[in-house]
Amino acid sequence: MNTPDPRRPYVRPMAGWWRRNPFFVEYMVHEATAFFVAAYALVLLVGLLRLAQGEVAWNGWQEALRSPWSVAFHGVLLAAMCYHSWTWFRIMPKTMPPLAVRGKRVAPGVITACGVAAAVVCSLVALVLAWGATR
């Protein structure tokens, strides 16, 4: 490095930074929900793999999904994914160029609400379609 600075500036360590402020703790929690999204993608991928392996494998996979442990696990996944979506749309207004409707700026809360509404509508449509296809 360079010659030591005679002013001896003190650089504070960053270790454990995310525990210093409740805002950072919440940030780490909502970022961690991405692991739950990945976990569900894995569940679906395994299903696809079992489907390719034939009827017995496919039926076995479906049977496994019906076990109480699996149902509980999916409950946890659903909760984590809802929280993930909410935090995603909460930050959305900060990530967009200003949006104007009839010459007036759209408020951040309205953008978040529209995002959440779109997610709810899409989820319901997917649910109804899947319901119809499996009956």
Partner 1 sequence: MAETSGNGKVIRVEVLRYRPEQDEEPFLQGYDVPFTDDMSVLQGLQYIKDWLDGTLSFRWSCRMAICGSCGMMIDGEPRLACKTFLRDFPAGTVRVEALAHFPIERDLVIRMDDFLAKLERIKPYIIPKEERTLAQGEYLQTPAQLDVYEQFSSCINCLLCYAACPQYGLNPDFVGPGIMALLHRYNADSRDGAAVERMEIAGSEAGVFNCTAVGYCSEVCPKHVDPANAVNQNKTRAAGDYFLRLVRPKGGAK
Contact pattern for partner 1 over residues 44 through 83, marking x by CB under 8 A = ----------------------------------------
Residue 24 within binding range of partner 1, rule CB under 8 A? yes
End-to-end CA distance of the chain: 70
42-67 burial, b at 16+ Cβ within 10 Å, e below that, comes to eeeeebeebeeeeeeebeebeeeeee
Q: Which of 3, 4, 12, 66 forms a contact with partner 1 (CB under 8 A)?
A: 12
Where would I find the H helices in 17-67? Answer: 22-52, 55-65
Identify residues 101-130 at the interface with partner 1 (CB under 8 A).
103, 105
Residues that bind partner 1 (CB under 8 A): 7-12, 14, 17-18, 20-21, 23-24, 27, 31, 91, 93-98, 103, 105
